[in-house]
Structure 1
Amino acid sequence: MPGARKRVAESGPLTVTISFAGYNRVWAAWIGDRLERRGHTVSYQRWDPQEGTPLADSLRALALAPGPVLVILSTWYFQLGPRTQAEWNSALTEVVAPDPGRFAGVSVTNDALPPATAVFAAADLTTVGEQEAERRVLARLGLPTDPLPADRTPRGGPRFPNDPSDVWGGVPRRNTRFTGREPLLNDIYHTLKSAEDGARVVTLHGMSGVGKTQLAAEYVYRFGAEYDVVWWVAADKRAVCRQRLAQLAPELGLSTGVDYGERLRATRIALRRGDPYARWLIVFDGADDPEAIWDLVPEGPGDVLITARNPEWAQHNSLLMEVPAYDRDESVSFVLRRAPRLTAREADRLAEALEDLPLLLDQTAGWLNDSDMSVDEYIALLEQEGIDEDVVRVSRDFPTSFPTSWSILLNRLRETVPEAVTLLRLCAFFAPGAIPVRLVRDLPAQELPESLRGLVTNSVSWAAAINKLRQYAVVRAAGVGDREIHETMPEAGGAVPGDTLYMHRLVHQIIRQDMPAEDHDELIEVVRRALAAADPGQPTDSRMWPEYAEIAPHLRWADVLRTTSPAMHTLVLNCLQYMLHSGEYQAGLTLGSRAMKAWKEQLGDTHPRIWDLTHHYANLLRAVGDYAHTEALERTAVDHLREAHGAKDLSHLRAAGGLAADLRGLGRYDEAYTISRWVLDAYQELLGDQDARTLNAQNNVAVSLRLLGRYPEALDLDLRTLAERRRLLRPRHRWSLFSEIHVSTDQRLLGRYSEAESIQAQSVRVHRGVLGPDNPQTLNAEHNLALTLYRIGRRREAAELFTGVLERSERVLGEGDPDTLRFAAGQSCFAREHGDIDQAREISERVVEGYTLLLGPGHPFPTGARSNQALIMRAVGEREQAYELAEHALAGMRAAVGDDHPWTLGCAINASEMRSLRGDTESASALNADTAARAAQTLGRTHPLTLSARVATAADLRTLGKRLEADKTEAEALDDLAATLGAQHPHTLAARSRTRPYWDFEPQIV
C-alpha cells in the first residue's frame, strides 16, 4: 500500500531536489516556491538524459543530488530521449526500486505511464486545488502539512499551474509535440528577468520555418504561471495589432468607451503603470515590419516577447535572440512524435533531407504519417524531380526539396479533398499572412464560379476544407488558435469559422507557382470583386481606416491594376486617398506610381481616370514635398482639362486647386493665392457656399493668405470654414479638425495666444482619439499646441510636446519629410532658449540642409531657417557667422516674399541684433526703426512682432546716447506689451529686464 511506504523525511528543514522535464517547469517552480516558504532549500534539476547514456546511469547521477529527489511525473518526462517503456521499466527497477526512500514522486498527468513508475508512489496533483496539492506534496515528502500562519504566507510567487492567469487571451493551444529548445527557453527567461523595467523586450528572429511562434507559445506555457496577464497579439498588420491591444482594455477592467483608439490608450497606460497588474507578458507574433508597430510595444514593469523574421528590432530597444534550425537530435525527436510509424533512422534521414527546419518537418512528417510511402521513397522522389532551384526555390535559405515536398502534398490534397486545393488557390490571390476570406463569403452566390459556389455557401464543406488544410499545417484559422473548426452550421448572426485564415508566406508562393492558368483567371477575378465589394467608399473617414488597412495589402496580389473594371479603379483611388489621409505616404506613392504606369498603358494618357489618378497621386507626392514633380503633373492636367472641358469644369477646378497647392509648396504665394481665389469663386458659382468642395477651396485661400502674412484675413476665412465644416460634416471629421488647427495657428500668429491654446488643446485631445497619435494631422495639431504653449511661457508642457512630436514624426514620416522639418525647426528654437544649445545647433543644421535639398536655397523656408541658425551662432559666441547668416537670411527673405512680409520683418529684427553686436549701432537702429514702422503698418501697433521691433529700437537709441527718446519708446512699448500679453508674460518680463528681443521663423503648413 502506498500509505505504508517509508516516508522520505521525518521533520526539519530539508534540501529537496526537484527533477522535472522542461515542459513541466511551471509545476517545478510552484512546488519549489511552496517548499522554500516553509524554510526548505530547493535544487532544480531539469531532466534531459543524453542520447547514448543508459537511463540507469542518468538516474544514478540524479540520486547523487543532496536530500530527497522529488520527480514530477508526466508523459514528457518519459519521452525525452526518446526511450521506450521497456528501457524505463528496466532502469526504474534497477535504480529506484532498491532505494524507495531516496525518491518521491508527484504526478501531473492522467496519461498512462510506464508501469514501473509505481515505485515513486506518486501523489496525484491533477484534479485537486492549490491547498490540497500543497498538502499532498508535503505529505509525500514526509513534511508537516499544517497551514502556515498568515504572517508567513507572502503574496506573489508562481501561480498554481491549474489556476489560469487573471487575464489570458489569444495564446495558441500548447503544442504537445514541441521538442528541444531548452537552452533557448531558459535564455529567454533569464534575459527578460535580468532586464530593467521598460526594457524587458526580447525578439525571437530567424528564417521562416524555424518555429519562432511555437517557441514563443511554449515559453508562455512554461513560464505563464509567473504572470497575471498573458496576451497574444497577431502583429503582421498594424491595424489588427492596434485592435488586439485595444481588446485588452476590458479584460484589465479598465473603464473606457467603445472607441478602440481610447481603449488602446487606456491599455498602454495601464501596462506602463503596472496597474492593475504589474506582472504581464505581451507576445507580438509575426511582427516582421518593426517600423509599422514598434511604437505599439508597451513599456512598464512587464515583459514583451516578439517573433519576427526581421532582425531590425534591435534598433527598437529589443534584445535579439536568433532561433536556429533544430539540432539533429531535436529533429529526430520531433519527427518521431509527429510520425510515430517512422523509425529513428528514417527520422534522421528525413531531417537531413529537410535540413532540420521545424516547419518543413512538421508538414512533411505529418503527411508521411498518413501515407504508406516510405521515407526512402519520399527522399528519392525529391531527388528525381530535378527542378531548377533558381525557378522554384522560394529562398536561398531553403533547399529545393521544400517546393517539391509541397507538390507532393498538393497532389495528395487534390486526390482527397479537392475543395481544399480550390480554397488554397483562392487564398493565393490575397496577400500572405492574415487572409480575410470572409470577403469572398460576403459575395452573392450568383457571382461565384461553379468551382467555388458549393464550397463557399456550404458551411460544412467550408469547415471540412479548412480543417484538412490545418491538419497538414498549410493554414491556420486566425483567432481560434489550434482548436478544431467544428463542422456545424453557425448560429444565426454568428461568425462563420474560418472567416480569416493565416497562410505562411512560403506556402503562399508555392501555391501561386502551382496555379493552372484556368484557375488563375477565374479565382483572381473573384478576389477582385470581393475587394471591391468590401470598399467602404469613405476613405477620408477615419472610422473606415481599419477596413482600408485590411483591404490595401491585397491589391497587389489580386493584380487589381491589370483590369479595366470601374469598380477596381474606384477601389484603387479610394485606397490612395486612405493612404494619404492616414499618413501611409510611401505605400500610397508605390501604388500610385504603379497605377499610373498600368492605367496609361491600358487607357491612354488622356482618359478621365488618368486625371482622377493624377489628382490623388499628386496629393501624395505633395505630402512628401515633391512639389516640382506635382507642379508638372498638375499643369499638364490643368492645360488638358481646360482645353477639353472648359475653365469651369469641375475636374479642371480640382486640378487648378492642386496646382495652387504646388505653387504654395514652391514658395510662389502670390500666384497660388490668385489661382486659389479664382477656384473658390468658380466653386461658389457652380456649387454654392455649402458644398464640401467649396469649403476645401475656401480653406486653401486661407492657407495662401496666411503664407502671404495676411493673418487677419486668413483667420476670418478659417473661422467661416470651420463653422461650415462642423455643420456640413461633423465636429470630429478630419477636415473640421484641420480647420481647428488653422484657426489656432492664425490666432497664434496674431499674438492671441490664450485663444489659440484654448482651441488647440481641445483639438489635440480629439485628434488623438479620432485619428490616432501618429497620424500626420495629429502631429501637426500637437506641434501647433507646443508652439502656442512656448509663446505663453508654459515651457515644461511645450518641451514634452516638441520632443514627442519630432520623435514620432521622424519614425513615421522620416527625417526629410516636410512635416518633420517643420517640427524640427520648432524643436530647435525651443532647445536654443530652454534646452541644450548643442542639440539646437545639430537640429538646426539638419533643418537648413533638409529644406535646401528639398526646396532649393532661395525658398522662404531654408531662408528663414538660416535666420534661426544665426540666433544659435550668436548664443555660442560665433558672432561673425551669426551676422553673415542673419544678413543672408534678410536679403533672401526680401527677395522671396517682399519687404513688408512678417517673415522679412522678423529676419530684420534678428539682423539688427547682429549688427548691434558688431558695433554697427547706427545701421541696427535704422533697420529697427524701419522694421517697427513696417510692422505697425502691416500687423498693427500692438502685434508681438511690432512690439519686439519697438523694444529693439529703444535698445539701439540708448546705445546711441539718445536716452530720453529711448526711455519714451521703451515705456510705450512696455505699456503695450503689458496690455496685450500681460504684465507677467515672458515677453513683457524680458523687455523690462532689457533683454534684446529675437524672432523665430516658423515654417507654415502649405
Structure 2
Amino acid sequence: MGPAPLRNTGFTGRDDLLGMVRTGLVGEPWRPLILYGLGGVGKTQLAVEYSHRYADEYDLVWWIAAEDRSQATASLAALGERREWPLSLDMAQTVTTVLSRLERGGVRWLVVFDNAGAPEDLASLVPSVGGHVIVTTRDAAWLVEGRPVEVEVFARHESIELLRARGRDIGFDEADRLAEHLGDLPLALEQVAAMQSVTRTPAREYLRELEERAVRLLAAVRPGDYQATVATAFAVAAERVRAESLAAGQLLELLSCLGSEPISLALLRRAGGQVAPPLGRLLDRPDLLDEAVWLLRRYGLIKVLDGGQALHVHRLVQAIVRDTLPAPARDGAFDNARRLLTTANPGNPSEPLTWDMHAQIGPHLRPARVLEAADSAARQLVVDHAMYLNEIGDYDGSRRLSHDAWTAWRQQANPDGVRVFICLRRLVAALQALGRYAEAGTLVDEAWSGLQTHPDYGPDHPTTLEIADTQAVLHRVFGRYGEALRLDLDRVERYRRIRGDDHRDTILARNNLGASLRAVGDFRAAYDIDAALAESRGQDLGPDDQRTLLSVSNLARDLYGLGDYARALELQQSSWHAYRVRLGDRHPLVLNALRTIVLCLRKSGRVGAALEEARRLYLVSQGHVGPDHELSLAAMMTYANTLCAAGEVSRAWNVAMDAMDRYRRQFGEKNPLTLAAAANQAIILRAMGERRRARQVGERSFYILRRALGEDHPYTIAAAIGVGNDLALAHEDDIARRVLTQALRDARRVRGQHHPETLICAVNLGLLQPAEDPPAGLLAASIDQLRHVLGPEHPLVVAAVEGRPGECDIEPPPV
C-alpha cells in the first residue's frame, strides 16, 4: 500500500458505487475511472474505501495528491524511488521512467489521482495501460478523459444513519431535518455530527442556528460549488471559535489562506514575531498554540496529523472561512499567510539542507497569493522557490512559477525592480534546462537591452552584470563565441573595478570567462585562469568543495584542448570520486566530467575503456536530462566518435545521425555545434567507404565553420584536415596538399607545434609528398614526434606507420 489515507472505520453506505467502480476498472482497465462530483461529496472517501477493500487484488496501490502538477510529479517520482526504479535529476525524466514501468505490466497496480486539477495539466502523468487508474475530481473536463462515475450526495437514509451514529442524542426527525439543511453532503454531515457531539449542542438548537444564519457561497462556473447549507455549518463553527478565542479564529483564517496540504507546527511557529497579536502572541507560545489547536479540533475544523506535528484544514472549510470574512479581515488573513511563508523562507536554495522547508512552503505559495504581493520579501520567496525547483530537477515547475511571477510583477508597481530581473534569470535557467534555448534567448535579449540604458541600472549595476552572465551563456549556446568572450571580458573588468579581484562575483566571472575562452579555442588562456582558480579555491574552500571540483574539471578540459591527454585524464580521474560523492552520479557537472574522462581515454589510445564509459554516459544523460539537451547531444556525439574509433562504424553512423537530426532541430543548421557534428559525421562516412557523401558533408561544414568562426578556430582546422582527407581519397593530391599545408600552418600557430592534431595534419600532408621532394622528410619527422607524444602503440601512430591518414574529430567543450 502506498501513501494512501487511513481507512475510515465509520464509512457508511456506497455499496452500489463501490460495485460500479470495481466493474468499471475490471471491464475497461485501459480507461481511467473518473469519480466526479461536488466538493465534499465523498469522492476521496470512496476511493480510499475501494483501495482498502480491494487491496488484496493489487501488488501496488499508490495515492497521488493531484491538485497541483508539481505535487503529482513529485509523488510519481517518489513511487519510482520506492520501487527502486532508475531516477533522474530531471524529475520529468524520472516520471517518464515510472510511467513506462507501470505501463509495462507484470505488476497488479492501482494508482489514485486525488482531487485532480485540469486534465490538460495532468493527463500526461496518467499511465495509459497496465493497471487501474482512479481519478477523483470536481473538474467536468475530466469526463471525456475516461469512464465517469458521478458521485452523488448521500441518499437520505445514509445521511440519517451517519448523523445518528456520530452525533449525540439526535432523533430520526432531527437527523432528517439536519440532512435536509446540509444537502446530504457527506463531508458536511460528518463534521457537523462531530461538532454537535463535542459541543453537546442540542440538535433542535443547532437546527435553529442553521436556519437563522444560512449563507450562500458564490456560484462557480464549473460544477462543484459548495451549497449554502454547507457554508452555514462551518460559518457557525468559525463564529463560535472566534467567540471563545480571537487568536484561534485568526489562526483558522490564516490556515484558510494557505493550500490544502498539511502545514507543520514548526513552520507556523516561525512567524510569531512577524504577525500582530493576538495571533502573533499565540504563534510565539507553544502552550497557547496547543490550546488553539484543541479548540479548532473540538469544532471539527482541522485535523491533526503526524503525531500532532502538522495541521490540515479541508479545502471546503477553507473556502467557507475565507468567503464569509469581511474584506478587511480577509486581506489581513492573506497578509498573515504571506508573512508566515516569507518568514519561513530558509533561502539558499542550492543547499540541500534547506530543501525540506522549501518543499513545505511550495504548496502554499499560490493559495496565499504570494505572487500578487509587491514587497521584496514575498518576491524573494518566489525566486528562491523557483531556484529550489530547478535544483531538485522540477524544471517545468520552476518555469511555470517563475513565468507566472515575472508576468504578474511586470504589471505591478516597480516593474523594473531587481527581483523582477532575478525572477527572469530563474525563468531563463529553467528554459535552458528544458532545452528551450530560443525562448530563453528572446527574454534575455530584451532584458539586456533595457538594463544597459535604464537610469536605475546601467552597465555597472550588479543586476546588469548578472544578466550579462546569462547573455554570455546563451551566446555560447547559439555559437556566438566572440560575442560571449567580449561580454565575459567586460564583466571581469567591471567586477574587478567594482568588487576587487578576490570578491566571489569576480571569481565567478573569471570562471565563466574560461568557458568563453574554451569556446573560441584559446585553451592556453583558459588554462591560466582555471589553474589559478583551482589552486585558490582548493586552499580557501578545500579540495572537495563543489566549486573547487568544478575548477579542476575545467582545468582538465583545458589540458585536453591543449592536447595533453594523459595529464588531463589523471587530473579528472583524481577528483572523480569526490565529485560523485558530492553531487551524485547523475548531476550535469559530474556527467560533463565523465565525458572528459571518456575523451581522454580515447585520445590516449584506450579505446575499449573509452567505449564502455561512453555508452554509460550516453544512456545516463539521455534518461537524466532528456535527449535534446546540450549535454545529451554532446554525449551522443562522443559515443558515436568512440564507436567509430572502435571500428563499429554502422552503430556509429546510427548514433551520429540521431545526434545530427537533434542538433539541427535544437540549434539550427549553422550553429557551430551542428557543424562540428557534421564534420564528425563525415569522418564516419569515410570509415564506411562513403567517399562522395563524406566529401559533401565535410566540405559544407568546413566552409561554413570558416565563415562563422574564422580559419584559426580549432573546429575549422579539424574540419580542414577532414577535407584534405576527402581530396586525397579522390586523388586530387595537389588541392589536398594546398588545403593541408594551410591547415598545418594554422594548426602550428593556433594549437602549437607538438599538439597531436598538428602532428596528424603533418603526417597526412607527408603521406601526399612525393618521395623525391625535399619536404618528404616531413612524414618521418612527424611520425617520430607523434610517437613521442602519444606512444608507439597508439592507434594513430600505428596507422601513420602503415601509411594511413589520421582523423581529427571535434568534441566541443560544455557551453
Equivalent in 433, 448, 452 of residue 638 of structure 1: 452
Q: Counterpart of 1:120?
A: none
Structure 2: where are the runs of 5+ without partners?
Answer: 117-121, 136-147, 197-201
Equivalent in 531, 547, 570 of residue 341 of structure 2: 531
Distance across 2 between alignment mates of 1:204 and 1:545:
35
Q: Counterpart of 1:708?
A: 520
CA deviation map 1:486-529 (0-9, x unaligned): xxxxxxxxxxx243x45666766666555542232112222222
TM (normalized to structure 2)? 0.75
Q: Counterpart of 1:847?
A: 662
> How much does 1:217 deviate?
5.6
Q: Counterpart of 1:543?
A: 353
> How much does 1:801 deviate?
1.7
Distance across 2 between alignment mates of 1:839 and 1:543:
43
**Secondary structure of the corresponding residue to residue 689 of structure 1:** coil
Q: Please state if 1:906 is matched with 2:718.
A: yes
Q: Counterpart of 1:949?
A: 761
Q: Identity rate of aligned residues, in percent?
A: 24
Question: Which structure exhibits the higher relative contact order, with contacts defined as CA atoms closer than 8 Å and separated by 6 or more residues?
Answer: 2
> How much does 1:891 deviate?
0.9
Matches within 5 A, 1:445-594: 447-450=275-278, 453-454=281-282, 457=285, 458-465=288-295, 467-468=297-298, 476-480=303-307, 497-499=308-310, 501-502=311-312, 513=323, 516-579=326-389, 583-594=393-404
Q: Counterpart of 1:430?
A: 258
Equivalent in 527, 532, 537 of residue 725 of structure 1: 537
Q: How many residues are treated as equivalent by the alignment?
A: 748
Q: Please state if 1:176 is matched with 2:4.
A: no
Q: Please state if 1:1004 is matched with 2:813.
A: yes
> How much does 1:896 deviate?
1.3
> How much does 1:695 deviate?
0.6
Distance across 2 between alignment mates of 1:772 and 1:212:
42
> How much does 1:478 deviate?
4.7
CA contact (8 A) 1:692 1:728 kept: no
Equivalent residue letter for 2:290: V
Q: 1:217 to 1:516 in 2, by over 3 A?
A: farther
Matches within 5 A, 1:748-767: 748-761=560-573, 763=575, 765-767=577-579
Q: 1:964 to 1:534 in 2, by over 3 A?
A: farther
Equivalent in 439, 450, 453 of residue 267 of structure 2: 439
Distance across 1 between alignment mates of 2:612 and 2:620:
12
Distance across 1 between alignment mates of 2:53 and 2:92:
22
Matches within 5 A, 1:382-393: 389-391=219-221, 393=222
CA deviation map 1:882-925 (0-9, x unaligned): 32222121111111111011111121223333334444343334
> How much does 1:693 deviate?
0.9
Distance across 2 between alignment mates of 1:336 and 1:965:
110
Distance across 1 between alignment mates of 2:35 and 2:564:
56
Distance across 2 between alignment mates of 1:653 and 1:639:
13
CA deviation map 1:266-285 (0-9, x unaligned): x87xx579xxxxxxxxxxxx
Equivalent residue letter for 1:307: V
Rg comparison, structure with higher value: 1
Distance across 1 between alignment mates of 2:752 and 2:709:
19
Distance across 2 between alignment mates of 1:976 and 1:964:
21
Q: Counterpart of 2:671?
A: 859
Q: 1:503 to 1:328 in 2, by over 3 A?
A: closer
Equivalent in 603, 612, 616 of residue 800 of structure 1: 616
CA deviation map 1:163-183 (0-9, x unaligned): xxxxx9977544334575579
Q: 1:769 to 1:533 in 2, by over 3 A?
A: farther
Equivalent residue letter for 1:538: N
CA contact (8 A) 2:350 2:391 kept: yes
Distance across 2 between alignment mates of 1:798 and 1:221:
44
Q: Counterpart of 1:410?
A: 234
> How much does 1:934 deviate?
2.0
CA contact (8 A) 1:824 1:847 kept: no
Structure 1: where are the runs of 5+ without partners?
Answer: 1-167, 193-200, 249-263, 274-288, 481-496
Looking at secondary structure, tell me which structure has more helix per residue.
2
Q: 1:239 to 1:322 in 2, by over 3 A?
A: closer
Q: Counterpart of 1:28?
A: none
Q: Counterpart of 2:708?
A: 896
Q: 1:841 to 1:713 in 2, by over 3 A?
A: closer
User: RMSD between aligned alpha carbons?
Assistant: 5.2
Distance across 2 between alignment mates of 1:714 and 1:599:
39
CA contact (8 A) 2:622 2:632 kept: yes
**Secondary structure of the corresponding residue to residue 836 of structure 1:** helix
Distance across 2 between alignment mates of 1:304 and 1:739:
47
Equivalent residue letter for 2:806: P
- Range that drifts further, 863-872 or 645-654: 645-654
CA deviation map 1:977-999 (0-9, x unaligned): 44333444454455566665334
Distance across 1 between alignment mates of 2:696 and 2:520:
26
Distance across 2 between alignment mates of 1:850 and 1:942:
38
Q: 1:508 to 1:877 in 2, by over 3 A?
A: farther
Distance across 2 between alignment mates of 1:695 and 1:754:
28
CA contact (8 A) 1:628 1:666 kept: no
CA contact (8 A) 2:216 2:229 kept: no
TM (normalized to structure 1)? 0.62
> How much does 1:933 deviate?
3.1
> How much does 1:334 deviate?
7.8
Q: 1:498 to 1:932 in 2, by over 3 A?
A: same
CA contact (8 A) 2:678 2:701 kept: yes
CA contact (8 A) 1:233 1:245 kept: no
Q: Please state if 1:981 is matched with 2:809.
A: no
Q: 1:577 to 1:467 in 2, by over 3 A?
A: same
Q: Counterpart of 2:52?
A: 218
Q: 1:884 to 1:575 in 2, by over 3 A?
A: same
**Secondary structure of the corresponding residue to residue 307 of structure 1:** strand
Equivalent residue letter for 1:980: V
